[in-house]
Structure 1
Amino acid sequence: MAIWDFVKDAGKSVFGKAEAAEPKAAPAPQASAAPAKPAQDPDTARKVAAIKAELRALNLDKDDVHLTLRGDTVRIDSKGADRETLEKLVLAVGNIEGVAKVEADLPEPDKAPVFHTVKKGETLSAIAKAYLGDANKYNRIFEANRPMLSDPDSIYPGQTLRIPQE
């Protein structure tokens, strides 16, 4: 299991505001033969639903993607996703405001992905020059971060980008 750190206060705001009403008390449990699964608190369930909605909007939510939220850490489990898709899932979830860490098991665990956190004033060209040796290769970074990026000029400080490897 690998863990990636993200800037918690940077990213897309998808959680919105919590409901003002207090959560309703859970009904008394009925006696049953099977132990009941612990219920997820309403705020956590709402946040997981918001993350899943964002993944659907990016066309990254597949049937086998399972998310678990603990505080500001999201765990991603997926049996069928390839390495590139899992890296994009990690970035899509990590670039959500309020998420500080993402955990996931990537195929080929000995091959660490290369991520870059954007600093103030950086451009994709400057990042391409630093990592790929040529500023004109900025489009490779842009394409590696689709669909999270829709415009190569729309990156922001604190955003984490996936750097494609040769």
Structure 2
Amino acid sequence: MGLFDFARNIGKKIFGSDDDDASEKLQAHIAEDNPGVDDLQVVVKDGVATIKGKAKSASAYEKAILMAGNALGVEEVRADELEAPEQTIEVTYYVIEKGDSLWKIAERFYGNGSKYTGIFEENREVITDPDLIFPGQKIRIPAAS
């Protein structure tokens, strides 16, 4: 599962399945904790969220996609018109599994559970509370430095 594919039936409830203003609600959700995207525009149709704008960094680009994709009802994010600088670090996208905690994920990727705060900080716009992650949620994990 790549950056742009998500589980449609899992995620944060932002809008209803027959919600006429799903695009507005998802755009407001991303704008609320804007990871660094100017001129943000979001359109949702048939489970596909299309994002346009100009990301200030590669991580802002990734976070905007993750914020959209982790919404209940979204199974794909298209970002062909979301401009961003190239990513300069190695990033892994991880789908949270039942029983996971950020501590366990940090142990798995970094060999040290106490580095969970770094994962949280790298996903602050995607994860609002480090104790409230859910199976199926996709996050980004930068390579250990």
TM range (shorter): 0.7 to 0.9
Give the superposition deviation at 1:18: 3.9
Match of 1:8 in 2: 8
**Aligned: 1:116 with 2:91:** no
Which of 103, 126, 141 is the equivalent residue of 2:78?
Answer: 103
Larger radius of gyration: 1
Match of 1:33 in 2: none
Q: What do residues 17-52 of structure 1 show as CA deviations (whole Å, max 9, x unaligned)?
A: 647xxxxxxxxxxxxxxxxxxxxxxx3xx1110101
Instruction: Find the aligned partners of 1:163 and 1:58 in 2 and give their Cα distance.
Output: 19
Q: List 4+ stretches of structure 1 deviating above 6 A.
A: 109-112
Match of 2:111 in 1: 133
Give the superposition deviation at 1:4: 1.5
CA pair 13-80 structure 1, distance change in 2 beyond 3 A? closer
CA RMSD, 1 decimal:
2.5
Counterpart amino acid of residue 131 in structure 2: D
**Aligned: 1:156 with 2:134:** yes
- Structure 2 alignment gaps of length 5 or more: none
Range 145-154 or range 107-116, more displaced: 107-116
Please give the TM-score of this superposition, normalised by the length of structure 2. 0.82
8 Å CA contact retained: 1:123, 1:153: yes
Match of 1:23 in 2: none
CA pair 80-110 structure 1, distance change in 2 beyond 3 A? closer
Instruction: Find the aligned partners of 1:103 and 1:133 in 2 and give their Cα distance.
Output: 34
Counterpart amino acid of residue 156 in structure 1: F
CA pair 48-82 structure 1, distance change in 2 beyond 3 A? same
Give the superposition deviation at 1:61: 7.5
Match of 1:40 in 2: none
Please give the TM-score of this superposition, normalised by the length of structure 1. 0.73
8 Å CA contact retained: 1:3, 1:103: no
Match of 1:144 in 2: 122
- Structure 1 alignment gaps of length 5 or more: 20-42
Match of 2:22 in 1: 47
Identity, % of aligned pairs?
A: 34
Counterpart amino acid of residue 150 in structure 1: T
SS at match of 1:79: strand
Flag the structure with higher strand content.
2
Give the superposition deviation at 1:102: 1.2
Give the superposition deviation at 1:14: 1.1
Give the superposition deviation at 1:7: 1.2
